[in-house]
Chains A and B, each alone.
Chain A
Amino acid sequence: KQEVTQIPAALSVPEGENLVLNCSFTDSAIYNLQWFRQDPGKGLTSLLLIQSSQREQTSGRLNASLDKSSGRSTLYIAASQPGDSATYLCAVSLDSNYQLIWGAGTKLIIKP
């Protein structure tokens, strides 16, 4: 059974720092991996989608990497800003079906 784990559960850093969020999954047979952002009381916003054949994706200050064989993905945020404060979730889509299996998220606080 696929399990998705995110470390750390919470992270607080000063504005301007670069940071890395981690996601690991137990079954490497994934179809894709997505990183989402969740703001309090709001829905989930897709940040980056990495297909199983890809190694990384970039969007602005965000870079996500995928190492399928080791079951790991990282989300790198450069030059963090207070507006980046949110919970970041990773989710994997399995080869056998297309439902997403979710991690518990990392709650990120960027201090001004």
Chain B
Amino acid sequence: EPEVTQTPSHQVTQMGQEVILRCVPISNHLYFYWYRQILGQKVEFLVSFYNNEISEKSEIFDDQFSVERPDGSNFTLKIRSTKLEDSAMYFCASEEGLNSPLHFGNGTRLTVT
């Protein structure tokens, strides 16, 4: 069964550094998402992406965050200058169409020191 893949599985970075989290969504899916889960807290929506542009973003997704779909298969989340509070599990998800089940990757655990 096709699946969403995320790399790396774990990333450790120093405060102020840039990180890029990578995702390969399922190939025929049209909608793409990034969510995050801080340890012990609820899953939080960051951004949704459709037709090569952001369709919606949360308050968390400030100017330090950006997303790209550079080549039609990869979907990346960039954090320009990481902060300690960016430490979390970041999940990429995709769906075939609206009102379809959401398929998640296994996540990237980001640790900012």
Contact = CB atoms under 8 A, between A and B. Distances in A.
B98 A91 contact: no
Interface string A16-33: 000000000000000110
B18 interface: no
Contact of B102 (A31, A34, A42, A105): A34
A102 B91 contact: no
Given A42-B106, A99-B45, A99-B48, 20 more contacts: A31-B99, A32-B99, A43-B4, A43-B6, A43-B91, A43-B105, A43-B107, A44-B93, A44-B104, A49-B99, A49-B101, A51-B99, A98-B31, A98-B56, A98-B98, A100-B35, A100-B43, A100-B102, A103-B42, A105-B42
B58 interface: yes
B103 interface: yes
17 contacts: A43-B4, A43-B6, A43-B104, A43-B107, A44-B91, A46-B102, A46-B103, A49-B99, A49-B101, A51-B99, A98-B31, A99-B33, A99-B56, A99-B58, A101-B45, A102-B42, A104-B42
Nearest to A42: B106
Interface of A: 31-32, 34, 36, 41-46, 49, 51, 89, 91, 93, 97-105
A79 B82 CA distance: 46
Contacts, number: 56
Nearest to A102: B43
B47 to A, nearest CB: 9
Given A31-B99, A98-B48, A98-B56, A45 B104 contact: yes
A9 B93 CA distance: 25
Those 5 A-B pairs whose CB atoms lie nearest each other, nearest first: A46-B101, A43-B104, A99-B45, A102-B43, A44-B104
Nearest to A101: B45
A101 B42 CA distance: 9
